[in-house]
Chain A
Amino acid sequence: MNMKIIVILICTLMIAAALPITTAFTANKKKESDGIETLADYPTAKFSWKAYGFSPFFAFVVTDASDSIDAEKYRWQVDDDSWSVMSSSSKKLFFFPDGQMHKINLEVTNSNGNTGMISHLVFARPLLKSGSGSYSISYITEYDWLDDLSKKYLSAQSTEIQYVFNAAGWSKEFAKTGSSVTESTFKNDVSTSNFHYHCGHGICSIVKTELALKNWLSTVEPSEVKNKWNNKCKWVWLHSCHMLEDCNTPGYDKDHFRNLWAGALNTCHMILGYASVTYPSYSVVSEFFNEALGIGKSFYPKGSDILSSYKIATKFAHGSNVKATVIADTYDQLYDDHLYGQGTVQSDETNNDNTYYTITPWGC
């Protein structure tokens, strides 16, 4: 038997030996998905809404629940009024004569009789198109090496962000998920928009914190984005565990992890992050934009500054085991930055003095 045949034979045998490992990992991945799919027995209630009005005092609100999953029947409720049952149509028109905030509940039922429910605060007055900013979103739900995250929650967060920004007149630069979220997203793409939101796993090792990508063998470390958040980039929200955590490693400053991420602030004014574990939360996204865009405030609504909006949102939406904080390039940016159209936006730092501001992480 010549050498060529021997080599091919041995290679074939080794590939055959390696196959069970690959198969086992695939099987494992499948089983993880199966675990999540048990939720499929229950319908998922979702609805978007738009307000149309001719004065600050009354408005029509149109709700659309057609994105609900596995829904056959719909029940709507406003505040504590009685439920309105609808057999098939997913859209409904509400008239509000007071131009105020109301809570709308949607309950959907599938053919098995199982129900799902969601509540939204709707502001019965059109959200004024007052901004001209741009935004971008990235999130990852499926990981090759880490446990997957809930598609349901993360996509709901993303939908909410797109809705409020679009309603406020902002333009979307990009929305990336899964494997399309790469190191380049954070090194380059983030700088193409004013506000970037990211949700996914965060990892805290001994000397650094880093964002996990779909394939965890590649991560985003702060050193990789040092001075990279520039051009249009003004605010980055890292909805991931640990990124701005206190460092307890002997020999390192308590602020070590925050110091590393502060290096990314070029034209970027502020990073909103967490100093502990955190969780997917539709509420935190919703609360933040309600506050920062002035949704629900009477008459001439203006949003609160970004720092206040973030603290209020995290206090309302997370439990006390979550800690949050921010880092900002300058004092004025920390206290006096608003989303475009909502108030002042402080200027970029002209000469980088290597300093930044932060606030003691607060319990939520």
Chain B
Amino acid sequence: MKNNYVAFFTIFLLIISIIPLALSSNSFVNNDFKDGILVPSYGLGSSYGINVLKENIVIKDYSSSVTIYKVVDESRDKIIKSGYMKPQSNSPSEEEAKDIADSYLSSHGGIPEDAVVSYIEPQYLKKIDYTTGEILETRSLGIDVNYGRIINGMQVAGPGDFIMVSVGGDGKVLCHLGSWRSLEEAGEVEVISPDTALSRLENGQVIDRPLSPIRGSLTVNEMCLGYYSEASLVYQEFYQPIWIFKGVDSQGENIELAVEATFQ
């Protein structure tokens, strides 16, 4: 009987020991105490905040007040031609695709004043054997030339202002997508300091919360003022300033997050 109690006690002890061990063994969780409460820190996207490494941050063009803009109109373009995203022969080079896209836009309403080429993306179709990983076939689908928006040197983040022109074989434009808001100046607004902005970041007060948990800490390399643009067709009355943080997570992935830059 005594041995039964000892066995029962040993098993109980093991179970009790495993609980905190299991709670802390998760590689994504770094427990910490805040105000006497055990707080598991999940890093990026956590409701409790983000572990931010901020030793060598380059702060670009900080100004204590910036212009806000009122939205006066919104345009939307969607032209898709036959052959878009299909394999192409004689795809142009990236440089040629950019010239073709510029020229196309100039003759289709013009390139908006604040538009800049943000990235050029050759698109490929691949046929792959998923058991071996062997790529059996690669075919060009053309080149996407993407434009973003810079207002007075400040980046516009968010989905609402973009233009894409897809250039296929023999320089044919196969697709033109775009969403753009017309703005007018609506005064100046004071913005929070970089330190306050970092505090908001650390508190997790980010504008868009990713659909993924963390991968460790966020090393912020650069922060700058910008604007946030809502998705096409979503009502937006003003373009207000935001602080944009650019950095990498613990696995080296580029991360861009933003917080509101106005006093709340």
List the interface of chain A (C-beta within 8 A of B): 3-4, 7, 10-11, 14-15, 18, 20-21, 24-25, 27-28, 31-32, 35-36, 103, 105, 117-119, 121, 145-150, 199-204, 212, 216, 239-242, 248, 253, 255-256, 258-260, 262-263, 276-281, 283, 287, 304, 307-308, 311-312, 315-321, 331, 334-335, 354-360, 362-364
**Which residues 210-264 in B have Cβ within 8 Å of A in the complex?**
210-213, 215, 231-235, 251-256
| A263: B residues at CB distance < 8 A | 130
Q: Is B148 an interface residue (CB 8 A)?
A: yes
Decide if B128 touches A321 in the complex (CB within 8 Å).
no
B48 at interface by CB-CB < 8 Å: yes
Q: A200 contacts B211, CB within 8 Å?
A: yes
- Centre residue among B86, B125, B177 by max chain A CB count within 10 A: B125
* Secondary structure of the A contact surface, majority rule: mixed
CB<8 Å pairs between A and B, sample of 10: A28-B37, A242-B212, A276-B253, A279-B211, A319-B159, A357-B125, A359-B123, A360-B126, A362-B121, A363-B119
Given contacts A259-B128, A283-B233, A320-B146, whether A149 and B85 have CB atoms under 8 Å apart is: no
The reply on B62 being an interface residue by CB < 8 A is no
Closest 7 CB pairs of A and B: A241-B212, A24-B38, A283-B231, A32-B47, A253-B133, A262-B130, A259-B130
| A359/B38 in contact, CB under 8 A | no
Decide: B129 and A316 in contact? CB cutoff 8 A.
no
A-side contacts of B252, CB under 8 Å: 248
Which B residues contact A (CB, under 8 angstroms)?
1-2, 5, 8-9, 12-13, 16, 19-20, 23, 26, 29, 37-40, 42, 45-48, 78, 80, 84-86, 118-119, 121-131, 133, 135-136, 141, 144, 146, 148, 157-159, 162, 164, 177, 179, 204, 208-213, 215, 231-235, 251-256
In the complex with contacts A3-B2, A263-B130, A308-B85 CB distance below 8 A: yes
Q: Which residue of B is nearest A261, CB measured? A: B130
Indicate if the CB atoms of B128 and A320 lie closer than 8 Å. Answer: no
Contacts of B131 in A (CB 8 A): 259, 354
Chain B residue at minimal CB-CB distance from A315? B177
Assuming the contacts A18-B19, A281-B231, A359-B141, asked whether A25 and B2 have C-beta atoms less than 8 A apart, the reply is no
Contact present for A240 and B211 (CB under 8 Å) = yes
